[in-house]
Amino acid sequence: MTQLKISAPVHGQPLTIGSGFQAQHFGEQMFAGLIDPVVMVDHFHMTATTFEPHPHAGISAVTYMFEDAASPHVNYDSMGNQGPIVPGALHWLAAGRGAVHTEQPEGVNPHVHALQIFVNLPASKKMQAPFAVHAEPADIPEYHAPGVRVRVAAGSSNGIQAAHTAALPEAFTLLDGFVDPGQRFAHVLEPGWNAMLYAISGPLQLQAAGQTADIPAGSAVGIGLDATAVQGAELQLYAATGCHFVLLSGPALKEPLVKHGPFVMNSSEEINERIRAYQRGEFGQLTDDWLRNSRQPA
């Protein structure tokens, strides 16, 4: 029995909202369970305020800003956090039992290039109090090898560890990597962990445990290593023509998953209870600062 499973490549689904938000969308259902605990990924470009304040519960809503973003993405939440998520930064909202937030591009001619990631919380932590973890670009360490640069935005790889990982609700790895033509990068996937490997620009070849997967640009694969494996699996990434990739990875929860928009719980009853809690005002609310700033001319 093969302990390492790799899905077929999945191309992101185009998603457009209004005139200022375009994304490639990936959902967990596209990967046959192999990206658990990741629930959803939007690789997006945003040039105008698009989303009103909205609630989350049962997940972490994670924003990772690519370095080539041209303006900050400003966060406002019901816990009183407010401030820019600048290019190269990570902002992790562990919504727990419920929080309200919005994030919007601000400034003259804004252009945000980022990932929005929903990471599931285990049943034991879905009702914990919400909190946020923020890492500035200078807080994110990098791995370097000839023709390879990888930002370790969360977790660890090749002996490089992001210090803020200890503050996250669960173990998780987020790698933002650049591989020059003809070069390789290797990362070890631990037993019981799943991963999503996304070739953002340029194709990527994955070699692991005797298997090979060719990932076209704009596509991703899910990878899962059984918890019974006696050791981790080395993922060898080869970029014949150069590639910008992202790897998202965490321990598989293997729990019931019920989704309702920005709520992810273990049952429909829990979803309905969180909706009622939000309607009762238990998630809190934002100050008026976000409204004033969202109405400023770009």
The annotation status of 54 as a binding-site residue, yes or no, is: yes
In angstroms, rounded to a whole number, what is the distance separating the alpha carbons of residues 9 and 219?
6
Task: State which residues form the domain around 227.
Answer: 4-294
- For the domain that residue 271 is a member of, what is the CATH number? 2.60.120.10
In terms of C-beta density within 10 A (0-12 exposed, 13-18 middle, 19 or more buried), how is residue 182 classed? Answer: exposed
List the chain pLDDT tens, one digit each, 298 residues.
579 999 999 999 999 998 899 999 999 999 999 999 999 999 999 998 888 899 999 999 999 999 999 999 999 999 999 999 999 999 999 999 999 999 999 888 899 999 999 999 999 999 999 999 999 999 999 999 999 999 999 999 999 999 999 999 999 999 999 999 999 999 999 999 999 999 999 999 999 999 999 999 999 999 999 999 999 999 999 999 999 999 999 999 999 999 999 999 999 999 999 999 999 999 998 876 655 565 544 3
Count the domains in the chain.
Answer: 1
pTM for this predicted structure: 0.95
The annotation status of 136 as a binding-site residue, yes or no, is: no
- Quote the tokens at residue 106: 């601000």
In angstroms, rounded to a whole number, what is the distance separating the alpha carbons of residues 164 and 187?
20
CA dihedral 279, 284, 285, 286 (to 10 degrees): -160
Q: How far is CA 263 from the centre of its chain?
A: 16
Question: What secondary structure letter does DSSP report for 187?
Answer: E
